[in-house]
Amino acid sequence: MRFIYLFLLIGLISCSKEEGNPDEIVFVQSITISGSNITSGTTGQMTAIVLPTNANNKIIAWSTSDDSIATISSNGILKARKNGKVVVTATATDKNVVIATKEITISSFETGTDNSIEVSNSTQLLNALSNIKAGSTIILNEGTYTLNSKISISISGNAQDKITLIGKEGENRPKLDFSSMVENSANQGIVLTADYWHIKGIDIYKAGDNGLQIKGSNNVIEFCTFSECSDTGLQIDGGASNNTILNCDSFFNADPTIENADGFACKLTAGTGNKFIGCRAWQNLDDGWDGYLRGTDNITTTYENCWSIKNGYLKSGSKGNGDGNGFKTGGSDDKLLKHNAIYKNCIAVGNVFDGFDHNSNRGNVTMYNCSAYDNGKNYSFSNTNPLEKLTIKNSSVLGTLGSVSSTVVDITNNSWQNGISVTSDDFESIDYNQLLNSRKSDGSLPEVNFFHLKSDSDLIDKGINVGLPFNGSAPDLGAFESN
């Protein structure tokens, strides 16, 4: 009988083992993290020693206490984003949930960049924008950032601590690609309602409306491009004032109806004091620059060293149905509003309709050392709904002048006055395709010899001092001063 009981007991033990006894699962009891502070470079390897060594599940989940300082991959690679201290956590994934932590100090970034956030994809960019603060910098690494909805920026910097969004220098500039958007008046690429931002070195492509719409003030937009958007590449409105657009390009912007989309526009409800410096607009369906007003009056916009080239043409080279002006100074529905415009050393060439256009603007327009050539009309300032005042000095036109009427005029020392005759022989080159050459590495305009004066030109020293720098006894006529 005892033999039978022993046999049954052994059988029960055997069955229990075959069915799997929970007491025999080996859980993680401890984790030790090893890894060093990051004093150079931006990456470090974290490792976890898991005990006991025969634990059934040794898989570790990694995390950091602050993703803005550092992130960590599933295999323990720590990626630093700025200087600071971050707690790295390793968590066992078995049901014992053992946790270990280690503090890592990051000091590899240059002094003064503690507020920098480096991003490499759209998710990181959007997260950084939503958590930005005054004085911080977001650095975009090279590559394409695919976005399917507009970015709204409402967090402001201040005069002492601007917020910077900058593309990292490299062979491939960061490109914000909105091409998945459909055309819609609400589908801007970026809407900047904030103040005191500096955005630099970024390409904005194929938004469903404006590439960048600025409704904030005291911002600087530098060395950016806006292309193939379904409305104006960069537009200033919504009361925005004192913004500076520096060394930017806007081109190939067109809507599907083939009758709208400018390169740049300071229009509708824009505020005053906005400036465009060293910018280029070419082959935009409507105008290179549009200053049409609706809802604001008596504002002033300044344009310095800006080039408007072949607007009114599509990317393919065919004509569209847009206005095709180089610089549209203003205009309004009731033909009463004043958009005061100041142009210095600006060039309008090859535009389908007008180089410099009046369009019922009732304000003051001042032009110093500007050049026009091969436009439908080079100048078009009519006596219908005339300007309050038109001032033109030291400017040159190759070809037919056009009209220069106003309620009050102050037009002296220009290429069509004082017995001066202008021909192509006055210039080193009249090939304005040069104006589309690549910019310099710092974003400034390319070196060209288009419309540079030959040493024997009649346009040398024929101007009058208007406060711009010049060589010789008097300023030259046109956009470029000879040596």
Write down all domains in the chain, each with its CATH number in brackets. 25-106 (2.60.40.1080), 116-436 (2.160.20.10)
Q: Which residues contact 339 (CB under 8 A, 6 or more apart)?
A: 291, 292, 293, 299, 301, 329, 330, 331, 361, 363
Q: What is the pTM of this model?
A: 0.78
Residue the block writes with tokens 């030259």: 476
Query: Residue 82: its pLDDT value, please?
Result: 79
Instruction: For CA atoms 8, 12, 14, 18, give the dihedral sign.
Output: positive
**What phi, psi does 92 have (nearest 5°)?**
-65, 140
Instruction: For CA atoms 311, 313, 319, 322, give the dihedral sign.
Output: negative
Is 328 one of the catalytic residues?
yes
- Angle, CA 431 vertex, CA 425 and CA 433 arms, to 5°: 165
Catalytic residue among 310, 328, 338, 393: 328
Query: Residue 3: its pLDDT value, please?
Result: 38
Find, among 86, 74, 76, 99, the residue nearest to 38 by Cα: 86
Q: Which residues contact 332 (CB under 8 A, 6 or more apart)?
A: 292, 293, 294, 360, 361, 362
Query: How does pLDDT run along the chain (483 residues), one tens digit per residue?
Result: 333 333 333 343 343 433 445 568 898 999 999 999 998 888 999 999 999 989 989 899 999 999 888 999 999 999 988 788 999 999 999 877 899 999 999 987 654 345 889 999 999 999 999 989 999 999 999 999 999 999 999 999 999 999 999 999 878 899 999 999 999 999 999 999 999 999 999 999 999 999 999 999 999 999 999 999 999 999 999 999 999 999 999 999 998 877 789 999 999 999 999 999 999 999 999 999 999 999 999 999 999 999 999 999 999 999 988 889 999 999 999 999 999 999 999 999 999 999 999 999 999 999 999 999 999 999 999 999 999 999 999 999 999 999 999 999 999 999 999 999 999 999 999 999 999 999 999 999 999 999 999 999 999 999 999 999 999 999 999 999 998
Residue type, 52: P
- Angle, CA 263 vertex, CA 261 and CA 264 arms, to 5°: 110
Query: Residue 364: its pLDDT value, please?
Result: 98
Q: Using CA atoms, how far apart are residues 351 and 278, in angstroms rounded to an integer?
A: 18
CB 142 within 8 A of CB 170: yes
Q: Using CA atoms, how far apart are residues 327 and 443, in angstroms rounded to an integer?
A: 22
Question: Measuring CA to CA, how many Å separate 175 from each of 139, 143, 184, 244?
Answer: 13, 6, 21, 21
